[in-house]
């Protein structure tokens, strides 16, 4: 017969407090700080709204990471409203409570996970009060003749941290509630957002929400909207206020035939000039942005920091754009470069070769899928590829490359010790020359040849081939070493 371990003294104390709501609330002023996290977790689980409301007002730490507990959507609203009501009471007081230390209410679900697991005893480790205060330092009161000054000091605003996803027809009770409170207490409550994602939503709704957000708190922005250039021009001034951006993704910004070309140019300049505010930008993703051709230099010359990631995908570029890119001083520390879906077929490969050479010391991931690169172009950039000593991943499917050039690639990159993931295009020899149908027997032979070359060099023999997309279903046949066929494939 097995017996369960007796409850710990801490658990007994929490149970005792929760059994009497008035006792729990009355004891908060004298409760040791170490008891607050386990008591808060228990009150949250049991939906003790009045206790939660009172605990927010007496919270003894600088940060309350409530988002780490919000895993069950069914009682988010009730418990969240209790916490926000406690914050309302706190901010409405003319005299600061004795134990008020709360500066940040963090509602992000993926932040401070260790805080609750350590305090609950489910994780081995020590989260000391000193560490918590170091993460969110408290400004000490000024001293007069060795004593703390008790003159009335203006309240520092409490920050509410959230990750926002703006999407049409999405019922977001949290955002609605927060906006109402920020509107009422604008000087005392700041809505901060580290990550912002924008999907299909009327631009006037987006602007209304952004007026409530501290825009300089945004570090990660994704705009996944099919916007006309004029709409994007209306959004651009808000973009410029996000001066602490680290990551920016723009997708499907469209141009439409315009009777006044100068207007189109005005909108482009309005967008590119915002980059002058981004002193910390590290990652830039531009996907299906239709106005880039001939204008990439407008973006590049406004960059204020060296990029670690540049992804320009499914965009039309000119040879002059590539030349500007290869000469841009902010590209010398690239770790991740993607030009997937950018047609390079008729372009001089020299700018791409120069770009790879300049980033050779840092480049780790390179994506040249669906670029229409030919044998002669690929041969021109092979020497630069061989210099990329940090390269770990290289993919260049969807290009018409012969088996001879792939063998040359292996010889050039055999010394790259970190290169472990390469996705090769199925060589042109593996297709039927008349109908362009993939011939699995030939592909198997070519696969075996490359694999043997790797074995002979003492490298791990992992070779992945990717065929052209199926004209019927769009899927690709993969080969390693057995084929993963698209549903439409018919053997010869």
* Same domain? 171 vs 294: yes
Query: Which range of residues forms the domain containing residue 55?
Result: 9-137
**HEC assignment per residue over 13-50:** HHHHHHCCHHHHHHHCCCCCHHHHHHHHHHHHHCCCHH
How are beta strands 213-214 and 143-144 bridged, if at all?
unpaired
For the chain, the domain total comes to: 2
Would you say the pTM of this structure is higher than 0.95?
Answer: no
pLDDT at 454: 81
* Same domain? 171 vs 81: no
Here the CATH number for the domain that contains residue 215 is 3.80.10
* Same domain? 171 vs 129: no
Last residue of one domain, picked from the residues 285, 305, 325: 305
- Half-sphere exposure (Cβ direction) of 165: Cα atoms closer than 13 Å: 7
* Same domain? 111 vs 167: no
Residue 56 covered by a domain = yes
The single residue listed with the structure tokens 């390269």 is: 391
Residue 392 covered by a domain = no
Residue 43 covered by a domain = yes
* Same domain? 49 vs 178: no
Residue 437 covered by a domain = no
- Residues near 475 by Cβ (< 8 Å), separated by ≥ 6? 469, 486, 487, 488
Helix, strand, coil percentages (3-state) for the chain, rounded to 5, are 40, 15, 45
For residues 249 and 105, what is the distance between their CA atoms, to the nearest angstrom?
A: 27
pLDDT at 254: 78
Least Cα distance to 425 among 391, 404, 400 occurs for 400
Residue 429 covered by a domain = no
Say if CB 116 and CB 65 are below 8 A apart: yes
Residue 404 covered by a domain = no
Query: Using the 8-state DSSP alphabet, how is residue 108 labeled?
Result: -
* Same domain? 170 vs 113: no
pLDDT at 448: 87
Q: pLDDT 10s digit of each residue in the chain, 492 long?
A: 455 554 566 677 777 777 788 888 888 888 888 888 888 988 888 888 899 999 999 998 889 999 888 875 555 678 888 889 999 888 888 766 666 788 999 998 877 667 877 655 444 343 444 344 444 444 444 443 443 434 444 567 899 999 999 987 766 778 888 888 888 887 889 999 999 999 988 899 999 999 999 999 999 999 998 888 888 888 999 999 999 999 999 998 877 666 567 888 888 899 999 999 999 999 999 999 988 999 999 999 999 999 999 999 999 999 999 999 999 999 999 999 999 999 999 999 999 999 999 999 999 999 999 999 999 999 999 999 999 999 999 999 989 999 999 999 988 888 888 998 889 998 999 888 766 778 888 888 888 888 888 888 877 656 788 887 776 666 777 777 677 776 666 554
Distances (CA, A) of 369 to 325, 340, 468: 18, 5, 11
For residues 416 and 393, what is the distance between their CA atoms, to the nearest angstrom?
A: 11
Last residue of one domain, picked from the residues 260, 285, 305: 305
- Residues near 278 by Cβ (< 8 Å), separated by ≥ 6? 242, 243, 245, 248, 303, 304, 305
For residues 414 and 401, what is the distance between their CA atoms, to the nearest angstrom?
A: 19
Residue 61 covered by a domain = yes
For residues 425 and 466, what is the distance between their CA atoms, to the nearest angstrom?
A: 5
Last residue of one domain, picked from the residues 305, 332, 366: 305
For residues 362 and 334, what is the distance between their CA atoms, to the nearest angstrom?
A: 6
Residue 49 covered by a domain = yes
Least Cα distance to 197 among 168, 173, 171, 160 occurs for 168
């Amino acid at each position: 017969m097995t017996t369960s371990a007796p409850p710990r003294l801490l658990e007994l104390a929490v149970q005792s407090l929760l059994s009497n709501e008035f006792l729990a609330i009355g004891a908060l002023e004298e409760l040791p700080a170490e008891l607050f996290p386990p008591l808060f977790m228990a009150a949250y689980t049991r939906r003790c709204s009045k206790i939660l409301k009172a605990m927010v007002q007496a919270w003894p730490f600088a940060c309350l990471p409530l988002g780490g507990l919000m895993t069950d959507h069914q009682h988010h609203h009730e418990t969240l409203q209790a916490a926000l009501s406690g914050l309302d009471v706190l901010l409405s007081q003319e005299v600061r409570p004795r134990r008020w230390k709360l500066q940040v209410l963090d509602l992000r679900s993926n932040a401070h996970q260790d805080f609750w697991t350590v305090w609950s005893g489910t994780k081995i480790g020590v989260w000391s009060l000193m560490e918590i205060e170091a993460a969110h330092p408290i400004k000490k009161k000024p001293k007069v003749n060795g004593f703390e000054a008790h003159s009335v000091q203006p309240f520092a605003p409490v920050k509410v941290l959230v990750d926002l996803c703006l999407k049409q027809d999405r019922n977001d009770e949290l955002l609605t509630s927060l906006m109402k409170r920020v509107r009422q207490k604008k000087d005392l409550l700041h809505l901060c957002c580290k990550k912002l994602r924008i999907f299909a939503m009327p631009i006037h709704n987006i602007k209304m929400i952004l007026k409530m957000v501290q825009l300089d708190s945004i570090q990660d922005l994704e705009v996944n909207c099919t916007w006309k250039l004029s709409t994007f021009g209306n959004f651009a001034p808000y973009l410029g206020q996000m001066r602490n951006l680290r990551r920016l993704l723009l997708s499907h910004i469209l141009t439409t035939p315009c009777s006044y070309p100068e207007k189109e140019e005005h909108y482009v300049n309005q967008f590119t000039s915002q980059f002058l505010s981004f002193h910390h930008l590290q990652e830039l993703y531009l996907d299906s942005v239709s106005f880039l051709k001939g204008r990439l230099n407008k973006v590049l010359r406004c960059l204020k920091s060296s990029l670690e990631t540049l992804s320009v995908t499914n965009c039309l570029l000119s040879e002059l754009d590539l030349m500007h890119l290869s000469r841009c001083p902010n590209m010398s520390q690239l770790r991740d470069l993607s030009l997937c879906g950018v047609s390079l077929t008729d372009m001089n490969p020299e700018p791409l070769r120069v770009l790879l050479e300049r980033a050779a010391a840092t480049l780790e991931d390179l994506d040249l899928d669906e670029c229409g690169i030919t044998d002669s172009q690929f041969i021109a950039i092979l020497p630069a590829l061989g210099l990329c000593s940090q390269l770990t991943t290289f993919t260049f499917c969807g290009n018409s490359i012969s088996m001879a050039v792939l063998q040359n690639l292996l010889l050039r990159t055999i010394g790259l010790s970190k290169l472990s993931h390469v996705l090769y295009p199925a060589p042109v020899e593996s297709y039927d020359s008349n109908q362009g149908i993939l011939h699995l027997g030939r592909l198997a032979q070519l696969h075996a040849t490359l694999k043997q070359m790797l074995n002979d060099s003492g490298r791990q023999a992992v070779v992945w081939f990717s065929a052209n997309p199926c004209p019927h279903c769009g899927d690709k046949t993969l080969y390693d070493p057995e084929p993963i066929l698209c549903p439409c494939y018919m053997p010869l």
